[in-house]
Amino acid sequence: MSRDASSPDAIQSLALLGATGSIGENVLEIVAAHPERFRVVAMAAGGERWQRLAELARRFRPEAVAVWEPDAAAPLRDALADLPIQVFSGGEGVCRVAAWESARMTVAAIVGSAGLSPTLAAVRAGKAIALANKECLVVGGGLFMEEVRRHGVSLLPVDSEHSAIFQVFQHKRHVRRLILTASGGPFRGWRRERLATVKPDQALSHPNWRMGRKITIDSATLMNKGLEVIEAHWLFDIPPAAIDVVVHPESIVHSLVEYVDGSVLAQLGAPDMRTPIAVALAWPERVNTSAPSLDLSALGRLTFEEPDRESFPCLDLAWRALRQGGGATAALNSANEAAVSAFLQGRIGFLEIPALIADALDALGDASAPTFDALFELDRQTRRWAESWIRRHSSREA
């Protein structure tokens, strides 16, 4: 992680990846509120919501837009035909926008491992990175960080927990422990028997945060916290044994750093993603957001408890993969993406998400992946393996 950011007085020109998503829309709200500080020069999305991308492009007037899905490019081009906006498509098009020449910072807010190649393209083009896409670090790990160092780019976390740590992080040599807080998700306190009955719409209603579908399911299984442990390890260069997780249902303390002298520094705020996004976009300055002020006396008290590792095994699966090293965290991530997607389609049950991931780690967790090409191949291999696991298990239930 680098704390250097661009000069505070200059206008921050942004390439925004995942513009139509929950993070993307929050970024655009901040940009709209501070036209003197931020300008979006390029935007990309998957293509599922291409009409929304067209609306956003019409409003923010970037120089270029891209959609990953080639079929979405023609209608998008038609919708923007009267404007001087270049339209690209496919993986190459998204990478081109990620590394757009006039952008100084790229906001990495694509969901899933699909975000890795474009973010890597931005790093290699020397852009500062505002990183929401934690999967970049879960899959890319040390290789990704090596590229960040080689190109000397700033890497500013957007995830609220990592933003909290970033804001209170002093010298690594003085850190005893990182403590990540977790809301516990919608099923906090539920035991396995009850979790077996969970349906997608229940898992999609998070008590504290409004987010995209995939991260909302990850929050319900606690895999999101597991992915964040891996992210924290790479961002702050802290060993897995010195990272802890505590459940904090109010989501007010966003994470903490304990120093060797016993001092513990925390960052607090309302659960509102506009705050960590604004920190990343404006660092080392601060800009106003519409996030509500914290009223501690109205809150009354803040509570903390141990995570239930037995009912929510995804947390320990992530730790296991991190300790295993090599390609294990990439396999973990691909298995999780396949399992979440199958759960949302009603093909497997909630408890089969950790079951699939555990089996995937047994089968593929020892794979070594010394290059990005090997990681991409492992991603494809794990998805094929997961699909056959899902077929076997969904036919068993039918």
Ligand X SMILES: NC(=O)c1ccc[n+]([C@@H]2O[C@H](COP(=O)([O-])OP(=O)(O)OC[C@H]3O[C@@H](n4cnc5c(N)ncnc54)[C@H](OP(=O)(O)O)[C@@H]3O)[C@@H](O)[C@H]2O)c1
Q: Tell me the C-alpha distance between 398 and 19, whole Å.
A: 39
Q: Residue 265: phi, psi to the nearest 5? A: -105, 135
Give the nearest distance from C-beta 319 to ligand X in angstroms: 18
Give the nearest distance from C-beta 210 to ligand X in angstroms: 7
Give the nearest distance from C-beta 174 to ligand X in angstroms: 27
CB atoms closer than 10 angstroms to residue 312: 26
Q: Tell me the C-alpha distance between 380 and 16, whole Å.
A: 26
Q: Which is nearer to ligand X, 159 or 308 (CB)?
A: 159
Mention every residue, 6+ apart, whose C-beta is less than 8 A from residue 128. Answer: 5, 6, 104, 105, 106, 153, 154, 155, 156
Give the nearest distance from C-beta 182 to ligand X in angstroms: 13
Q: Which is nearer to ligand X, 16 or 367 (CB)?
A: 16
Q: Tell me the C-alpha distance between 377 and 39, whole Å.
A: 36
Q: Which is nearer to ligand X, 183 or 389 (CB)?
A: 183
Q: Which is nearer to ligand X, 228 or 258 (CB)?
A: 228
Residue nearest to ligand X (CB): 21
Q: Tell me the C-alpha distance between 165 and 118, whole Å.
A: 26
Q: Which is nearer to ligand X, 88 or 312 (CB)?
A: 88
Q: Which is nearer to ligand X, 34 or 134 (CB)?
A: 134
Q: Which is nearer to ligand X, 104 or 134 (CB)?
A: 134
Give the nearest distance from C-beta 391 to ligand X in angstroms: 24
Give the nearest distance from C-beta 20 to ligand X in angstroms: 4
Quick check: 278 and 287 in contact, CB under 8 A? yes
Of 22, 17, 24, 69, nearest to 43 (Cα)? 17
Give the nearest distance from C-beta 76 to ligand X in angstroms: 10
CA distances from 209 to 57, 83, 213, 252 (A): 26, 36, 11, 12
Tokens matching residue 180: 């990540």
Interface contacts to ligand X, rule CB under 6 A:
18-24, 44-49, 68, 94, 109-111, 114, 132-135, 159, 209, 211-215, 273
